[in-house]
Amino acid sequence: MTRFRTLFRAGLLTFFAFLIPLAAQAAPFAAYVMDGRTGKQIHAQNANTRLHPASLTKMMTLYMAFTAIERGQVRLDTRFTVSSKAAAEPPSRLGLRAGQQIELRYLIRAAAVKSANDAATVIAENLGGSVPKFAGQMTGMAQALGMRNTQFRNANGLTQSGHFSTARDMSVLGRRLFYDFPQYYSIFSRRSADAGIATVRSTNRTFLDNYAGADGIKTGYTRAAGFNLTASAQRGSKRIIATVFGGTSTAQRNAVMAQLLDMGFGKAPTRVREIKPEPPQYIVERKSSRKVAAAQAISARPTAKAAVPAQVARASVASKSLNSALNEAMALAASEPPAPQPRATGSAGGKAGIRLASSARPLARPARVAAAASPVDEAVRSAMAAPAVAASGGLSKSARPKASPRARQSAPVAVAAASTANVVKSSADDLSLNSSSKPQRKSDTVIVGDGGGSAPEPRPTEKIARASSSGGQSWGVSLGRFKSRDRADERLIQIAMQENAQLDGALRHIRESSKGYEATFVGLSKSAASKTCASLSEQGLRCDVTAP
């Protein structure tokens, strides 16, 4: 008996000795659930713990790209040049070559759908001048959006010192993408897309296919981060947005996300007043040196609307509009010589045993900065938004996270859509989902620029003669009539962005009549026109095939 006990104890010690290294390598877990309509918290676990975001970083990269398009700095068809650094990024990648030129629309699709690291780097270098400058602008924008525990060092999410975010902040960013850019939001629900040189498949297609009502947003994985996901789903009047950090596998992460969304739908009220987020607000201050044009971001507050004009009046560039001042600030920041790019650790996003205490010291808020800044600090200060994360600590200062929840063994990830006769119960243990509706547009116009910093001149409408009856590439699609030419053009741009190969080569055309402005695509084959309308009809959008 004594020998048996000795052997048993030795076996237990060996077993626990084996588990200790595995526990040390496991990424910390965090989760956050919010009501997408109001932004109010429903559930939080380690939600403010600073962790590696992995490819959730690309959500901000895309937010910056959408901002540049709306402000007229670039167009979807602007061609970006691929650098040797971008071409050498590790997988996941689109397969770009150094010196190649590719349209921005394809880079957006590759970054959003395939999570391509090379595409994200090309966007950063061409919009910001260099990756460090663009990362500084991303950090500034994060502060303007209320993401208080986020700091970026690159545009693709590969593990790097000083690059961190939280489950709460990424949920805030997911909500911002939905409300601030509804014209582009549908890209996050695509299962595949034409990325110019290849058709790419979504990294999130399994969850999108298996969870009723899911329509986005982004996955992420590195060895240091674990399996991350920010997801959004809508059923009936309810929209829930949630984020998971540190999943142990794709299946476990998706199962936990399903549980979190179930909880959100169960606890969120059926009727609530929608509170849309305020747009980012900036005060731009002219310095004596042309190389320093700091743009300070002010976090939006519910009572800040009336105060904004007075704040802008106190700025030294009060004679300029906010947009023109911001254009100048970003143009001056982009004119500086590129700073050296820090190297990412690990070909797949960082080593499992990375020391979190090695994170770089974050920047202090601009109001307290008195000393000269480093090149990366200067990029942050000259970006479109100001304060970086407070210098009180990075990843090493985070509270000890709680353990990751186990996925329910008996409950599959797939959740069947509930009928309208079923009532959602308030208990998180007995939940069902309602039907979904489309997001509302933020504005009536989408600004399409000529690639410069100033507002673009209106582009002439393409005049297309009525196609002959011979067929071929003479078919078209009509998206309906609109009250203004701007609304018609906005719809054409939106559909051109979200649809893939069917509309490549098609021409946008607006027909004016006494009944309004008809938005059409022309120059299509019969097959392409039919497939386009079939795809749009599935999304609940109007589309009619026009014969030669």
| Rounded Cα–Cα distance for residues 206 and 413 (Å) | 9
- Which is catalytic among the residues 92, 115, 189, 382? 115
- Write out the two tokens for 133: 């400058």
Active site residue 115: yes
55 is catalytic: yes
**Cα 60 to the center of its chain, rounded Å:** 5
Scan for tokens 């850019």, then name that residue. Answer: 181
**CA–CA separation, 509 and 512 (whole Å):** 10
DSSP 211: B
What is the residue whose two structure tokens read 């743009």?
A: 295
Considering the candidates 58, 114, 218, 531, report the single residue annotated as catalytic: 58
Tell me, what DSSP letter sits at residue 509?
E
β pairing state of 281-286 and 293-298: antiparallel
Which one of 55, 83, 436, 535 is the catalytic residue? 55
Contact yes or no for 30/246 (Cβ under 8 A): yes
Reduced to 3 states (helix: H, G, I; strand: E, B; else coil), residue 522 is strand
In this structure, what token pair is assigned to residue 336? 């500086």
Name every residue whose Cβ is closer than 8 Å to that of residue 400 and which is 6 or more positions away in sequence. Answer: none
535 in catalytic set: no
With a CB cutoff of 8 Å and minimum separation 6, the contacts of 326 are 71, 282, 284, 295, 384
Nearest residue to 107 (alpha-carbon basis) of 88, 91, 90, 93: 93
- For the four alpha carbons of 199, 200, 206 and 208, in that order, the dihedral sign comes to negative
CA-closest candidate to residue 69, choices 456, 459, 488 = 456
- CA–CA separation, 217 and 229 (whole Å): 8
Asked if the peptide bond before residue 493 counts as cis, ω within 30 degrees of 0, the response is no
Q: Which residues contact 62 (CB under 8 A, 6 or more apart)?
A: 108, 111, 112, 177, 184
CA angle 43, 46, 50 (to 5 degrees): 130
Residue found under tokens 């001056």: 332
Q: 169: which 2 tokens?
A: 């902040």
16/495 Cα distance (integer angstroms):
56
Catalytic residues: 55, 58, 115
